[in-house]
Structure 1
Amino acid sequence: MTEITILVLYGLLVILTLILQATGAMTQLGMGYLLGARDEGRTVSGIAGRLERALNNSVTAMVLFAPAVLLIVITESATNQSLLAAQAFLLARLVYLPAYAFGLTGIRSLAWTVGLLSTALLYFLSL
């Protein structure tokens, strides 16, 4: 497994998060609202609301993680340490999603921190 493979797997996790979030929103808001112009602002709550926030955070994480991985590849800086950092990121994000969805705040915060630190390490390793 390479850092690029982990990036692809994380992309698939973000897509899964989007599907789960959309399904939750559909059950609360209805298909008519979701297919409409959405001029009237409505919000979702509970698990659907948490999935919406998890999706937003996952997209932000992707915006930070993808360039770090690409820098590792472009600068030919891939090492066992960079692979471990990418694996830690993916594992953290795999924990983050259900922790956020089910309101496990301590676990969610720890997973978020591990993911962010792993991403920062990738940037450092690409120097």
Structure 2
Amino acid sequence: MSDQINELFDKDGNLIGALLTAEAWSSVRDQVMNALGVRETPTVEEKPEPLADWEMLTQYWDFPYPVDMDVACEHCGSKTENWSEDEPRLFRLSSANLAGLVAFKCMNCRAKVVKKHFKDEIVTECTPYLEEKITSKEGRY
């Protein structure tokens, strides 16, 4: 048919679908979605907080300072003395590991707050949430 479109047929010769190249799909996607009445509603399911990872980190805590529970967002000013006791959560634990790397999501502005626990100090980094992602850093499967 075309270099852009391959029609797909069943064993009896009935048309069952079409395969478009990425270039063809990107040029007709909106019209096809509208014609079929498909509305995109991105539903992002929040993963549960990895509390078991946090518990393991605190069990094996060998830093010369006590476990720190405070979290602060540089971007919106949100802060808490103990993130685990807030209801509703001001910061949501997104990852923790035995190396002392702990990450949180600010529930106010969606910034990412990372706490790096080193032997002698804690370094905190706060990265703002970006609605528009950098496409060169996106995984494609």
Q: Considering fraction of residues, name the structure with more strand.
A: 2
Structure number with the bigger relative contact order (C-alpha 8 A, sep ≥ 6) is 1
TM-score (norm 2): 0.28
Q: Considering fraction of residues, name the structure with more helix.
A: 1
TM-score (norm 1): 0.30
